[in-house]
């Protein structure tokens, strides 16, 4: 019997980091809903992350337009279909003007900041154990990455230390010479990754910045892929790394999603919301808190190298401790067997719960703005009116927050 299609419109972030942190919801829906078919909306930088999602019908690249014109353009692209579910992580009003059975819309949470993974999971009312970030790749992508990391005949591969020394703002960039010093201590004769290689990753615009790090590496022991691979190939490469160290950036979140032990370097950004997610990840900062950074740069917009007070010793210490934790976890016995004479009743496994998203009602509004009946097809205002965000992000553009 042919499985009935369950079309899902999934509106995710503009920025790479936010898109990665919400990617676990896609895997959750794909695993839980038979026949799930995805149309994913993302910004130009993040869109390539979703090229291999199972059940993918389309990736819509949404570029920010003048005013809110990009929302009207999106509505015009997706209004002809009735959706089984609309997930809107941007908090826009788009779902209110589309035919759908169910919807889940992000709303700004009050109280103490929570991690973006938890924040995204709450859109689907998932509490307790939120879906971890997950990116899909094909065997061909992994094979290409493995080819790029392959050693020459006769060479010993050794451990692989990956570094991402770039970020989207100078204020979040740790000095490049400190990356070089850190790599030398970790890969040196007395380091925990002794005899290993250095993998450098970054965008096309980061080539000159990483030159000092590349030159400080041992001859023949550096793989510089800066600007040479796309995001999913970088993800596949990071799956082979023993450790990643990088600034708070999209690449840091890609490394954590790959399952790589990850050290994220923080200063003028909030690790409570943007720390790398996973059991073997650490957020490391210098002596100053985020509030102290805000005191000297309230808008987080000045061209100040805020990360200069984070010492190499602090990062090296954190890296060594994380590697020890990883080693201990791998060496620990996986299963503790019961005593031979213990009488234990067999446990019946519960039936897996099939996810059925609840309808999230919008806040009360005047009768003049009543929701359009599903059977009718809404028409745009003659004046070219656009859909307004109902809950715009308050994160500063310099951070990983997703502006409208």
Res 289 pLDDT > 80: yes
pLDDT of 129 above 70: yes
Name the band, by pLDDT with cuts 50, 70 and 90, for residue 45.
very high
pLDDT value of position 360: 34
pLDDT for 334 equals: 64
User: pLDDT digits over 186-199, tens only?
Assistant: 999 999 999 999 99
- For 326, other C-beta atoms within 10 Å of its C-beta total 16
Top-confidence residue, 392 or 342: 342
pLDDT higher than 80, residue 398: no
Tokens of 230: 């796309």
CB 249 within 8 A of CB 256: no
Residue 263, strand partner residues: 245, 282
The pLDDT of residue 109 is: 80
pLDDT at 209 over 60: yes
pLDDT at 394: 33
Banded pLDDT at 181 (limits 50, 70, 90): very high
Of the two residues 44 and 348, the one the predictor is more confident about is 44
Residue whose structure tokens are 């010993």? 156
As a 3-state breakdown, the chain gives helix, strand, coil percent values, each rounded to 5, of 30, 15, 55
Mean pLDDT computed over 125-146? 96
Q: Taking residues 68-90, report their average pLDDT.
A: 94
Q: Is the dihedral of CA 210, 213, 216, 217 positive or negative?
A: negative
Q: Which residues, including other chains, have CB under 8 Å from residue 279's CB and lie 6 or more apart?
A: 329
Across 85-89, 351-355, 362-366, the highest mean pLDDT is recorded for: 85-89
pLDDT of 378 reads 40
Output Rg (C-alpha) for the chain, integer angstroms: 23
Tell me: the pLDDT tens digits for 323-338? Answer: 999 999 999 886 555 5
**Predicted pLDDT at 390:** 32
Q: Distance of alpha carbon 384 from its chain centroid, rounded?
A: 34
Query: Which residues does 330 contact at the CB level (< 8 Å), separation at least 6?
Result: none
Of the candidates 60, 4, 13, the one whose C-alpha atom is nearest the C-alpha of residue 34 is 4
Query: Residue 197: its pLDDT value, please?
Result: 96
Residue 356 reports pLDDT greater than 60: no
Chain center to CA of 178: 25
pLDDT score for 46: 97
| 93-110 pLDDT per residue, tens | 888 999 999 999 999 888
So what's the pLDDT on residue 2?
A: 66
Band the pLDDT of 68: cuts 50, 70, 90: confident
Average pLDDT of the residues in 258-279: 97
What average pLDDT is seen over the chain? 84
Query: Percent of the chain scored above 90 by pLDDT?
Result: 69
pTM to 2 decimal places: 0.83
């Amino acid at each position: 019997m042919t499985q009935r299609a369950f079309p899902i419109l999934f509106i995710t972030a503009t920025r790479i980091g936010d898109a990665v942190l919400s990617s676990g919801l896609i895997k959750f829906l794909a695993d839980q809903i038979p026949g799930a078919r995805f149309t994913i909306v993302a910004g130009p930088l993040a869109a390539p992350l979703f090229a291999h999602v199972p059940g993918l019908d389309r990736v819509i690249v949404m570029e920010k337009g003048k005013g809110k014109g990009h929302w009207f353009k999106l509505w015009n692209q997706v209004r002809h279909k009735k959706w089984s579910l609309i997930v809107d992580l941007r908090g826009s009003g788009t779902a209110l003007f589309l035919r759908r059975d169910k919807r889940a819309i992000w709303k700004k949470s009050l109280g103490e900041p929570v991690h973006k993974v938890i924040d995204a999971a709450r859109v689907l009312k998932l509490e307790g154990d939120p879906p971890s970030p997950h990116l899909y790749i094909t065997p061909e992508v992994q094979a290409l990455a493995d080819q790029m990391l392959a050693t020459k005949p006769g060479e010993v591969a050794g451990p692989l230390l990956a570094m991402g020394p770039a970020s989207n703002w100078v204020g979040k960039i740790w000095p490049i010479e400190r990356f070089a010093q850190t790599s030398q201590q970790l890969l040196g004769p007395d380091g925990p990754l002794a005899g290993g290689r250095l993998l450098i990753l970054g965008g096309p615009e980061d080539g000159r910045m990483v030159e000092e790090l590349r030159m400080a590496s041992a001859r023949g022991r550096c793989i510089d892929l800066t600007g040479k691979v796309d995001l999913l190939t970088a993800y596949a490469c990071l799956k082979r790394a023993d450790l990643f160290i990088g600034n708070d950036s999209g690449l840091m979140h890609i490394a954590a999603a790959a399952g790589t032990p990850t050290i994220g370097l923080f200063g003028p950004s909030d690790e409570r919301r943007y720390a790398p997610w996973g059991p073997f990840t650490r957020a490391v900062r210098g002596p100053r808190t985020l509030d102290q950074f805000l005191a000297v740069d309230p808008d987080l917009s000045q061209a100040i190298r805020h990360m200069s007070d984070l010492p190499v010793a602090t990062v090296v210490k954190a890296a060594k401790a994380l590697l020890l934790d990883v080693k201990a976890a791998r060496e620990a016995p996986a299963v503790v067997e019961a005593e031979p004479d213990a009488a234990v009743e067999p446990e019946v496994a519960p039936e897996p719960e099939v996810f059925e998203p609840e309808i999230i009602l919008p806040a009360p509004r005047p009768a003049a703005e009543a929701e359009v009946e599903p059977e009718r097809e809404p028409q745009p205002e003659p004046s070219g009116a656009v859909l307004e965000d109902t809950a715009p992000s308050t994160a500063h553009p310099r951070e990983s927050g997703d502006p409208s």
